[in-house]
C-alpha cells in the first residue's frame, strides 16, 4: 500500500508541475488529472524533453489509490520508474516556468 500511495503523490507532483507551466504561460489549466491532456495544452513554443507517453502513464495512479480494488500492487521497480518520470517532469517544469515568467 505504501508504494501505491507514493505513486499517487508522484502523479500529483507531475500534474501540479505541468499546471504550473500552463499558468506561467498565461493559460487556465484544465480541471483534470489526465497528464496527456495537460501536456497537450502546453504551448508549442515550450519544448518538452521527455516521453509524453511515459508521463501519461502516471495518470493511472491518480485514480488507483483513491479507489483501491482490482489494481495490481505497485512493486519496487514500477515505483522507481514512476519516481524517475515524475522527477523529470518536475525538473522540466522548473526550467520552463523560469523561462515563461516575465523578468
Q: Which grid coordinates belong to 25?
A: 504561460
pLDDT tens for 20-63 read 999 999 999 999 999 999 999 999 999 998 899 999 999 999 97
pLDDT tens for 77-94 read 999 999 999 999 999 999
**Residue 41 has what pLDDT?**
96
Is the pTM of the predicted complex or chain greater than 0.85? yes
In terms of C-beta distances under 8 Å and separation of at least 24 residues, what long-range contacts does 9-12 make, across chains too?
A: 10/58, 10/61, 10/82, 10/83, 10/85, 10/86, 11/35, 11/58, 11/59, 11/60, 11/61, 11/62, 11/82, 11/86, 12/62
CATH topology of domain 2-100: 1.20.120
How many residues are listed for the chain in this entry?
A: 103
pLDDT tens for 56-78 read 999 999 976 666 666 778 999 99
Amino acid at each position: 500500500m505504501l508504494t501505491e500511495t507514493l505513486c499517487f503523490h508522484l502523479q500529483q507532483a507531475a500534474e501540479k508541475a505541468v499546471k504550473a507551466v500552463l499558468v506561467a504561460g498565461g493559460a487556465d489549466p484544465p480541471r483534470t488529472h489526465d497528464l496527456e491532456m495537460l501536456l497537450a495544452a502546453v504551448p508549442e513554443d515550450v519544448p518538452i524533453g521527455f516521453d509524453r507517453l511515459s508521463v501519461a502513464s502516471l495518470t493511472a495512479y491518480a485514480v488507483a489509490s483513491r479507489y483501491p480494488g482490482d489494481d495490481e500492487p505497485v512493486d519496487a521497480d514500477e515505483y522507481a520508474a514512476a519516481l524517475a518520470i515524475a522527477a523529470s517532469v518536475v525538473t522540466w517544469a522548473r526550467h520552463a516556468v523560469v523561462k515563461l515568467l516575465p523578468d
